[in-house]
Structure 1
Amino acid sequence: MGRFKIVDRVKNVLKLAQGEYISPERIENVYLANNSMLTQGFVHGDSHQAYPVSIWGVDPILFAPFASQILNKTISPTDLDAVKAAGQDVRVRKAVQKELDKIGKQNKFNNWERVRGVHLEIEPFTIDNELLTPTLKLKRPQTAKKYRAVLDRLYEEALAEEEKKPRAKL
């Protein structure tokens, strides 16, 4: 019909391994709008991977009861060390992953738009660590550079999960 639809800024659009383009900012906004315990987000996709991975900032007040329920122990929202440790626990990360999968299905994300790896921190992005601009926009290249080891680990974990799944025989 001769119409244009603006999806995102050109420099924010990522191309994945299968040739699909994704808008990480749109994906982050959907996840953040539908999950109140997430406060900040960074969705990253490498051009040689088939899906994105993510780093999330969590609200300790809302995250502590969620993590307490999963770990079957009481975590105080004021005990930031315990909240950080809970965010690194594999069981908690998998539970957050399930929540994100539900949100992705509800919002009709394509398979390549759903994040497969999750890393949780209390406040990962600030102006002081130069990952946010003064107008509080995420500096994607600097963030990817700072968290490169984490992103690589998330991709390795996601690939290991894929290998565990049974494959259909043809």
Structure 2
Amino acid sequence: MVKQLAHEKDMGSYSLFVWRDAMELTSLLEEDFTASEVLESFEKLSDEQRRAFELEHEDTIIQILGKTVSQRRTFLKAMLKSHSNDCCGLLLVFAAIAQVRTMEIIELRDRYRAVLAPGQGNRDTAAGLYGFYRNMTKLPTYEWPFEVFDAYGGYSGLDSAEEDDDSA
């Protein structure tokens, strides 16, 4: 049996971890904030304002992602001393969006792993890396993570009347 090199291995377990973590983040949002109010605030932001919010709070989002579930509660309580409820709720949404993107990146990495490491021909690598890049630019950007809430049966901020309208 030939031993796989680290870069040749599938990262499915990492993908599963970040998906579950996105669900933890949205669950925490539902427990500590009113999801419909956070959704309303989120929807009031243009894509440019969402980009600016993410850029302004990038380090905080990274900190949230690096913390365990119990550490996140303590961190959010501390954040609420200097930030609004709205801001803290949005930080959780942006952290969940970050995890959805991360999952997509891992899946792309697995699909393109042969060209992301040495060993292929120059033309194959160049063509493959361009394909990887093009797919990276198509990753989810600033959409409310409905699919994450749906995955665990969460509320997602919509009332039942709005959900009924969508299914009609």
- Could you say which structure has the higher strand fraction? 1
Q: Which has the larger radius of gyration?
A: 2
- Could you say which structure has the higher helix fraction? 2
State the structure with bigger RCO (CA 8 A, min sep 6), 1 or 2. 2
* TM-score normalised per structure 2: 0.28
